[in-house]
Each structure stands twice: as C-alpha cells, then as structure tokens.
C-alpha cells in the first residue's frame, strides 16, 4: 500500500459545473521526491474569479492548459509506477480534492486507480491524539501557498510527522 497525498486547485466549488485548474501529488516516503503536477483546461464555461484567483492563474492561462484526458492518463501511469501495492488517496480536504480527482478520472478514463475511497489527514490526526477538534497543520514544513505540489508536500510532511509519532501507516 502506498499513501499518495493529492491537492487540487479549481475555479469553483464542484466538478462538472466548474473546472479543476491544477493538482499536485506526492508519495508519502522520507524524501518526498516522487511528485506529479497536472494542469487541465476548463471543461465548463462557468468559473468564479475569486476561486480562480486562489491558484494565481488567469482565465486566459487556464484556457491554454492541457486537455484533461491525457493529463489524467499520465497521472494514472505515474500512480502505477510510483506505488507499491494499492495506492491510497490522502488529502487535507478529502471532500473537495477527492470529488475533483474522482470526477476527472471517471469522466476521462472511466475508472479511478484509487478505487472508491480515501483518507482525510485531519481525521487521522484527531483519532491519533483522541481529540475530535485537534489541529494538525502545524506539522507541515513546506509553506501552504496554493501551488498544489507544495501543498501536497506539506501535507505529506504532516503524515510523516504523524507516523514518527506512532501512527501506523506505511511510508514506503
């Protein structure tokens, strides 16, 4: 089993009506050197300027990104090449990040190599420290700057710190 942390940037709150802009992924292992970055063009005419602004991309730049199908195919190949056993999707905000990645995989490839589920980092930490309101983001080292690879790395750093604190999860 390999844990893969994924972070998504989008131009709105829900896939299909709005579009994913970019995403980053990192395999949870000590060097955090196995990374992937995808940038996909809009699949909808709808977009929220304030949502797109979070990623620091203009609509014109977004329109110039790659078609989603080939990007998702490349991501699937990277997941297969980078994973030992079943890949497990992990995220800061599972409800947000998962919905976009799952939708784009199914819309473009008809399948999702992560299967049907994932793990939310915050819930793992809350369970680990036995506090449903515990915060975990202090465990990140890489600044959270909405570059999806940087954000995924910071979240993977937090998972590695939690593993170092005794959480039983694989870190390749």
Which residues of the chain are under the pLDDT cut of 50?
none
State how far the alpha carbon of 147 is from the alpha carbons of 23, 63, 131, 162, in Å: 8, 18, 30, 23
Regarding beta strands 20-27 and 35-39, do their DSSP bridges make them parallel or antiparallel, or are they unpaired?
antiparallel
Q: Which tens digits make up the pLDDT trace of 102-149?
A: 999 999 999 999 999 999 999 999 999 999 999 999 999 999 999 999
- Provide the residue ranges of all domains of the chain, joining segments of one domain with +: 2-164
Please give the model's pTM, rounded to 2 decimal places.
0.96
User: Which entry of 62, 138, 144, 146 is annotated as an active-site residue?
Assistant: 146
Q: Is 114 exposed, middle or buried (0-12, 13-18, 19+ CB in 10 A)?
A: buried
Active-site residue 103, yes or no? no
69 contacts 107 by C-beta, under 8 angstroms: no
Q: In angstroms, how far is the first alpha carbon of the chain from the final one?
A: 8
Residue range 2-164 forms a domain whose CATH class is: alpha beta
């Amino acid at each position: 089993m390999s844990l893969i942390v994924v972070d998504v940037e989008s131009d709105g709150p829900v896939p299909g009506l709005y579009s994913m802009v970019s995403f980053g992924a990192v395999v949870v292992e000590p060097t955090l050197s196995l990374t992937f970055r995808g940038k996909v063009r809009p699949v909808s005419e709808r977009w929220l300027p304030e949502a797109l602004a979070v990623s620091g991309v203009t609509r014109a730049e977004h329109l110039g990104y790659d078609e989603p199908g080939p990007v998702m195919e490349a991501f699937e190949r990277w997941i297969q090449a980078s994973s030992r056993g079943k890949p497990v999707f992990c995220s800061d905000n599972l409800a947000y990040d998962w919905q976009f990645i799952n939708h784009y995989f199914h819309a473009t490839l008809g399948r999702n190599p992560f299967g049907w589920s994932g793990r939310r980092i915050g819930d793992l930490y809350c369970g680990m420290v036995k506090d449903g309101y515990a915060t975990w983001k202090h465990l990140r080292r890489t600044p959270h700057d909405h570059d999806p690879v940087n954000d995924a790395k910071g979240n993977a750093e937090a998972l590695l710190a939690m593993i170092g604190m005794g959480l039983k999860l694989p870190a390749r």
